[in-house]
Structures are given as structure tokens and as C-alpha cells.
Amino acid sequence: MKIGVPTESLPGERRVALVPDGVGRLRKAGYEVLVQRGAGAGAHIPDEGYAEAGATPVPEAAGVLREAEVVLKVQRPTAAEVSALRRGAHLISFLQPAQSGDLLATLAERGVTAFAMELVPRTTKAQSMDALSSQATIAGYKAVLLGAETLGKVFPMLTTAAGTLVPAKVFIIGAGVAGLQAIATARRLGAVVSAFDVRAAVREQVQSLGANFVAMPVTPEAEGAGGYAKELDAAQQQRVLETIAGHIADMDVVITTAQIPGKPAPRLITEAMVARMRPGSVIVDLAVETGGNCVHTRPGETVEVDGVAVLGPDNLVATVPLHASQMYSKNLTTLIDHMTQDGAFRADLEDAIVGPMCVVHAGAIRFGRAA
């Protein structure tokens, strides 16, 4: 069976779905791997690395999509890419299924079986396939560096002949994978770090990283399936806003990571909160792709409001392309290993991992209302 890896077509996307180590692993499992020339260039992976690992180079994306029975991508395909896919092919990538109804319909018409990497179950068995977590690790790390670069202060306390500089105060909203990595990175840079999450269960994780946990007066039952935060009712949401408002004004850098699967990101930073922050403060909103946690966030832009910089970094993970690609490649190869039975690729939709990931099969949409 042929597995294909085209160059990512989304502007600014520098990741690649498979690195040479992943090619070698799939080759040992008996697969032929087709890789478009230049697919790894954005992540500084030369074509020679793929050739040495046993991949077959293909000049153009159309050739990969036409020949491959399983196509591995990072971003969801364009309409042109879908039309180039062979009928009956399998597609594995991030698909943003909740916002991609037209794409899913087109894939169904094409007879493609599609699997969304966003939908890897949050279980112990599937942990090594969890691409959301692997990429969130990179995003949390890079968000702190972006905030530090924008802030007009240094993070650590410095005692010098010219006087003592107090450490920066960093506030992380949302203590999932990205939030925890942001906490750890900000602490390593010497900041005083605090964090908020509606899930009381993460308190110990936050404190174990050396950060102060900002607790609500009354903690709601806010943990949903797979450990994600769930949507709160209006009264609970108001208590969340009051808690954040009472803490945010004195912060130098605020990094927001709060998201709810299949829903728009909750608005947690209001105009009034931003107005109370000191000029020169920075907000980095990692929930920008699902609407943003801050009312002022604009995708791909830096907006200044009353001297406060609000950053909405677009595809921040792609700015660390090598390690992000290595982690994503490991997620994909582990998934392919899981889907390989008796030496052959098999999409078992009754499987506890594969089934929930499948959003299109046999000409039908299996995700959301259309299912």
C-alpha cells in the first residue's frame, strides 16, 4: 500500500506530516511512502533525508494525491487537493470538522474516508496519537516567548549595579496542555506565574510547576469528557469573569488557552478588564482559531488597546516547524501502526480510537448534525 505526503499548501504552514524517521518506520511496516519534493523544506528537512529513509520522491502534489491510498497531511485539504485525491482513498489530517461542513460533503462525494486528528480520544491507549496535545505543547512554549519579546521588560528578577529589576508577572488562563507548558516556560524564564482554570482538578498540576493557582470562590463541576473543560451556565460564567477581573489588572503578560471542543472559545477577557491593565502589558490569545478568549483579539494581528498589546497569533505552532513536525509525525505513525492488522492497513470503524476519528466514510458524513 502507498502512503503519500504532499507539501502543505496553506500559506505560512511550515510543518510536514511525516519526517524521515517516520518514513523509515512505515517502510519497515511494509508500506511504500511517496513524498512530494520540497515537502519538508519549511521544517528544514531536505529531500535527501527522505530518500535515505526510503521514500519515493514525487515532483508534484497531484502525483502524490493521485497515487496514494492513504494521504497524510497537517492542514485540511483545499478543494483542488480533494479533487485530486483518488476515489476510495483514506485521508488523515487536522480537518476542523465543526467548521468544515462543505469540505466533509466534498470528501463524501469523492468517496474518501477521512479521519480528523482533532478527534483522537483522550484515553491512555491513544495518548501517543494525540496530536492536539503534541501541538499544544509547542504552542504553549512559543506563546511565552512571543509575550516576552513583546513586553518591554525582562522576565526574571535581576540585581545589577544599576539597581534591581523586579520579575514580570505572567497569568495563564486555562491549564490544559498548552497552559501547563506556558507555565513551565514562563517559570524557566524567571517570571512570577499564576494560572486560572475552571477545573479544580488541575490545581495540583499548576502548583507542581511553581505557579499560584487562582481559585474561584465556588468551583463549578466543569470537567467534561476526556478531561476538557465543558461549557458553563450563565451564572457560572459570570463568576469566572469576576475571578479573572480581580486578578488580571496587575499582570504584565496574560496568555489565554481556554477552548471547548466543538464550541467557540469562551470570551474571558472583556473590554473593561483590558482597560484596567497597565500600558505596556501584553495579551497572547492562543484560542484565536476558535474565536479568541479576548474581546479585542483579531486573527493574525496585534491590536493595541489603551497601550495594551493584544496578540492573535495565527498558526503559532508552524513557527517551530521542526519539532512540531517530529511530534506530529510520531502521532501519525503510531496511528498507522494501530491501524495495521496482519501486515495490512485496515480502517476498523468499530475500534475505540479509529471509530471516533472517522468523519467521512462510504459517501456519508459521520460527524455532527450531518451524521
Q: Specify whether 329 is catalytic.
A: no
Alpha-carbon distances of 48 from 4, 101, 160, rounded to whole Å: 17, 38, 49
3-state secondary structure the chain: CEEEECCCCCCCCCCCCCCHHHHHHHHHCCCEEEEECCCCHHHCCCHHHHHHHCCEEECCHHHHHHHCCEEECCCCCCHHHHHHCCCCCEEEECCCHHHCHHHHHHHHHCCCEEEEHHHCCCCCCCHHHCHHHHHHHHHHHHHHHHHHHHCCCCCCCEEECCEEECCCEEEEECCCHHHHHHHHHHHHCCCEEEEECCCHHHHHHHHHCCCEEECCCCCCCCECHHHCECCCCHHHHHHHHHHHHHHHCCCCEEEECCCCCCCCCCCCECHHHHHHCCCCCEEEECCHHHCCCECCCCCCCEEEECCEEEECCCCHHHHCHHHHHHHHHHHHHHHHHHHEECCEECCCCCCCCHHHHEEEECCEECCHHHC
* Catalytic choice (130, 197, 252, 285): 130
Catalytic residue among 27, 37, 66, 122: 122
What's the number of CA atoms in the CB half-sphere (13 Å) around residue 327? Answer: 19
- Number of Cβ within 10 Å of residue 90's Cβ equals 21
Active-site choice (127, 128, 236, 237): 127
Q: Which residues pair with 117 in a beta bridge?
A: none
Dist. CA 288–CA 316, nearest whole Å: 10
Q: Is 228 considered catalytic here? A: yes
Q: Which of 37, 228, 237, 267 is catalytic?
A: 228
Letter string b/e over residues 303-321, b meaning 16 or more CB atoms within 10 A of that residue's CB: eeeeebbbbbbebbbbbbb
Q: Which of 36, 75, 93, 133 is catalytic?
A: 133
Confirm whether 130 is a catalytic residue: yes
For residue 36, which of 47, 22, 20, 26 has the smallest C-alpha distance? 47
Active site residues: 122, 127, 130, 133, 228
